[in-house]
Amino acid sequence: MPEKCKNRERLVAAGSSDIPALPVGAVRGLLCFRCFSPSDKIMKCAGCKRAGYCSKECQKLDWSVVHKKQCKILTGVNKQEEDNYRKARTWNEYSGELQRYVREVKATSTDDNLWFIIQAQPYCAVCRRSAIQLSTRKTLLNRCDECQLIFTCTDCSSKQSHPPSVCSNYQIHSQIEQFRIEFFEDTEKATPVNCTATPRTTYKPLSEATNGWFDYYVDISDKTSIRSAIKPDFSGLTDLVYQLGEKADQEQEERRRMFLLLSTDILTMPLTIISALEDISWITPKPSPSPTRELSIHLIGATGREFHALSTFEEILHLIPDIKTLHITAAGPLSWRGEPDEALQLPYMPPTELACCPACTSSNRKRYIASWRGLYHDFVSTSVYRKPDLLVLFNSGCVDGDDAESSWAPTIRGIVESDVPALFTTYNAEEAEHERYMFGRLDAKFLVEPAVNRWRGLVPVPEFLDEEFGVWRQNYYRYVICGKER
Ligand SMILES: [Zn+2]
Ligand SMILES: [Zn+2]
Ligand SMILES: [Zn+2]
Ligand SMILES: [Zn+2]
Ligand SMILES: [Zn+2]
């Protein structure tokens, strides 16, 4: 096993959850399933013909840790693929079959990687025969030269399989995932926290940052030095760097670009919140000379993702000079556990002070985190509930999610019946459209209609079950509601 993945093995064994997930590149035959290293000579597992490894050592390790169980289930899926063989499948037929396999697997196994291996399987993007189906036939699968992740079989080679925009999103995705794996080896963190180092003394509206993240980094945060090195659309390096730079400089600039792109996947949380505070006019244009205000936010449906990102919420203090105290309450069945208050007999962890940077500490600014591990509408009826300034539901899936019907309905009704503004985000356009429809039926008042979020995460993630070549992003779409229309 390469030296560089020893770190990851140690953290996986220790039960860390902030680790890079199995990359699409592994499932599509470019990277080792265990160490995620790229290799031209990936050896496929003889049992399932799906997992692939750079070395015998990685294969042995993976077998003893996870693959022994996976292999048996995948072999069963392969049998079904063979029974379902047709010369060509429509997208709906293909994705329908995948969804069925995934449902069956989810019913018997809690291994997230298993369903990912199935849904991201290599297949011809024209006739939609899978690598498994073609493995016993004479037809071969050829990789796209550009993105390396989409295939066309030799029978379909004369047809165009995917549009350039899809090809480019897949390329960006694998570049960033590759960077994430290296970043993790260096820092033991899968997602970088990249806040503004020095708290601002004046407020600069996010609505004026017309170039989005570029303007944020350069004008609002304190990364002015990137102005000369990175293009406003983050598409690549400036010509200047190419002309003047040595190869090492180019590589360094490229790493910096990847770092900035990957950082947006976490920074999207505080920035999307701040832009909603602008929408609801919570932020006053002329702040008082010293911070005096309190801001209280409830994160509904919070999970480990928000937990790993806790330090990034300090960005709210750093961009809004007015705030003296920031209160965050995370609520949801998957919200993290803390020390519950024994006397209350509730799944409630009372506010705990979190450390701030030296600048915030010296000006006596504070931030607190509290947690409710349960459904939000149950929390609202307790004595520990205090009305917040803003509700935040990141990528809630409150209409399309797995447990949407059962757990969201009372919470959603409660939100519409209250007069607290609520910020919602979704992974893609379709979810935003479904949620718009549902809230329309509930007569909710839209302060901001669903639209692409300027502060979405910039990492495109391929989606394999719904829309063909669909891509989702963190907080891709956003909208804000407040109470009822009449
Ligand atoms: Zn390996
Ligand atoms: Zn196998
Ligand atoms: Zn084909
Ligand atoms: Zn391509
Ligand atoms: Zn600070």
Backbone phi and psi for residue 125, each to the nearest 5 degrees, phi listed first: -75, 0
Distance CA 468, CA 162 (A): 10
Question: What CA dihedral angle connects 335, 338, 341 and 344, to 10 degrees?
Answer: 20
254 part of a folded domain: no
Query: Are 148 and 295 found together in one domain?
Result: no
pLDDT at 236 over 70: no
9 part of a folded domain: yes
pLDDT, averaged across the chain: 91
224 part of a folded domain: no
Q: Is the dihedral of CA 435, 440, 444, 449 positive or negative?
A: positive
Of 407, 469, 397, 481, nearest to 125 by C-alpha is 469
Query: Are 130 and 271 found together in one domain?
Result: no
Of 352, 309, 328, 326, nearest to 189 by C-alpha is 309
- 324 Cα to the center of ligand 5, angstroms: 11
Query: Are 452 and 359 found together in one domain?
Result: yes
Backbone phi and psi for residue 219, each to the nearest 5 degrees, phi listed first: -100, -30
- 451 Cα to the center of ligand 1, angstroms: 42
pLDDT at 228 over 90: no
- 107 Cα to the center of ligand 2, angstroms: 20
Return the structure tokens found at 130.
Answer: 């899978």
| HSE (side-chain half, CA atoms, 13 Å) at 59 | 16
- 187-203, pLDDT tens digit by residue? 888 888 889 999 999 99
> What is the band of 426 on the pLDDT scale with cuts at 50, 70, 90?
very high
115 part of a folded domain: yes
- 245-263, pLDDT tens digit by residue? 667 777 888 888 899 999 9
Query: Are 324 and 454 found together in one domain?
Result: yes
Query: Are 19 and 153 found together in one domain?
Result: yes
> What is the band of 370 on the pLDDT scale with cuts at 50, 70, 90?
very high
Query: Are 150 and 23 found together in one domain?
Result: yes
- 308 Cα to the center of ligand 3, angstroms: 42
Return the structure tokens found at 205.
Answer: 């509206």
Backbone phi and psi for residue 59, each to the nearest 5 degrees, phi listed first: -65, -45
Among 182, 200, 223, the domain boundary falls at: 182
Which residues have CB atoms below 5 A from the ion given as ligand 4? 144, 146-147, 150, 167
347 part of a folded domain: yes
- 297-339, pLDDT tens digit by residue? 999 988 877 887 888 999 999 999 999 999 999 999 888 776 7
Considering only residues 182 and 23, tell me which one the structure prediction assigns the higher pLDDT: 23
Among 124, 159, 182, the domain boundary falls at: 182
- 25 Cα to the center of ligand 1, angstroms: 13
> What is the band of 244 on the pLDDT scale with cuts at 50, 70, 90?
low
471 part of a folded domain: yes
Distance CA 26, CA 92 (A): 25
Query: Are 44 and 155 found together in one domain?
Result: yes
Q: Is the dihedral of CA 103, 108, 109, 113 positive or negative?
A: negative
133 part of a folded domain: yes
- 52 Cα to the center of ligand 4, angstroms: 21
Gyration radius of the chain over CA positions: 24
- 40 Cα to the center of ligand 2, angstroms: 19
Find where tokens 């329908």 sit: 96
pLDDT at 287: 64
- 67-113, pLDDT tens digit by residue? 999 999 999 999 999 999 999 999 999 999 999 999 999 998 988 89
pLDDT at 470 over 70: yes
In the chain, the number of structural domains is 2
Query: Are 335 and 478 found together in one domain?
Result: yes
Among 182, 212, 244, the domain boundary falls at: 182
Buried residues in 255-276 as b, exposed as e (16+ CB within 10 A): ebbbebbbbbbbbbbbbbbbbb
Backbone phi and psi for residue 193, each to the nearest 5 degrees, phi listed first: -100, 125
Query: Are 146 and 283 found together in one domain?
Result: no
Residue 130, domain extent: 3-182
Distances (CA, A) of 105 to 73, 122, 167, 179: 8, 18, 30, 31
Considering only residues 284 and 411, tell me which one the structure prediction assigns the higher pLDDT: 411
Instruction: State the DSSP code for 63.
Output: I
Query: Are 162 and 295 found together in one domain?
Result: no
Distance CA 303, CA 243 (A): 46
Query: Are 177 and 288 found together in one domain?
Result: no
246 part of a folded domain: no
Query: Are 177 and 265 found together in one domain?
Result: no
Question: What CA dihedral angle connects 255, 112, 349 and 317, to 10 degrees?
Answer: 20
> What is the band of 55 on the pLDDT scale with cuts at 50, 70, 90?
very high
